[in-house]
A = this chain, B = another copy of it.
Amino acid sequence: MASRIVALLSDFGLDDWYVGVMKGVILSVNPHATVIDIFHSIPPQNVAAGAFALGASYSYLPPGTVVVAVVDPGVGTERRIICAETAGRTFLAPDNGLLSYVFAGEGQGRVVSVENHEYFLKPVSQTFHGRDIFASVAGHLSLGLMIGALGPEIRDVRRFDVPAARLSGGHLAVRIQWRDSFGNLVTDCGAKLAAELKLIWGSFKIAGIETKSIPIVDSYESVPKGDLLAIVGSSGYLEISVREGSAGERLAGFISGELVLEKA
């Protein structure tokens, strides 16, 4: 049987050895695993951001991938760890809502509570379950372990509602879900609503912040270099961008919380 791929997402950053030892533990259990990083720059302990990032990325991982997501402010407390089979992949995460976007897109699938110490690294520390539980269990899953061996099936997992902008009275209140390193601002306005807005509005203003009209376009080259635009980005949401520039810098100070868009 081909070894499975293990993909890691966390808020551990790359300025410590934490991700490295997770890989060491996975390869200690399964020397033939292929381990890749989704990324590790989730803002520390920000479960909502981690959930969004996972939602934007999981569907590009190969079928069968063991996806390990660790944003875990509750480490060392009584919070559960869950393992879910959905979307053709296997997800390991703390039971804190981190899989909310995955579940929203794919259904919750089969979920177990990870409790079987047999697959943990011993002794289990109080502060680094990423190494002692997540990585070790992921190694075993990559060897073909069935999730039923990890613990009892459960239904009451923690989930939050995935944000979704809705038109109301000619206004669209959007939340910025992510600001990427190019300065693109990813809203919670989905592709379908964005297509509708493109038809009925064409362009919009950001109430109280940007009086210039921002066109909804299909490609960056529809506007001159340096101009603001809105486009459905690679994660399937409307993004506010600047062609060959940074919308995050242009709109600095307004990029978190909610923006209200209105027809220009």
Contacts and interface: CB of A to CB of B under 8 A. Distances in A.
Interface of A: 2, 5, 7, 9, 12-21, 23-25, 27-28, 31, 34-41, 44-45, 53, 56-57, 60-63, 65, 73-78, 125-128, 131-132, 178, 180-182, 218-221, 231-234, 239, 244
Contacts of A126: 218-220, 231-232
B5 A128 contact: no
15 contacts: A5-B31, A9-B17, A14-B14, A15-B39, A15-B41, A17-B56, A19-B39, A20-B57, A21-B57, A24-B36, A27-B36, A28-B61, A78-B221, A127-B220, A127-B234
B234 A60 contact: no
Contact of A20 (B36, B62, B234): B36
Contact of A60 (B16, B24, B61): B24
B62 A17 contact: no
A227 B232 CA distance: 43
B38 A21 contact: yes
A188 to B, nearest CB: 17
Contacts of A239: 127
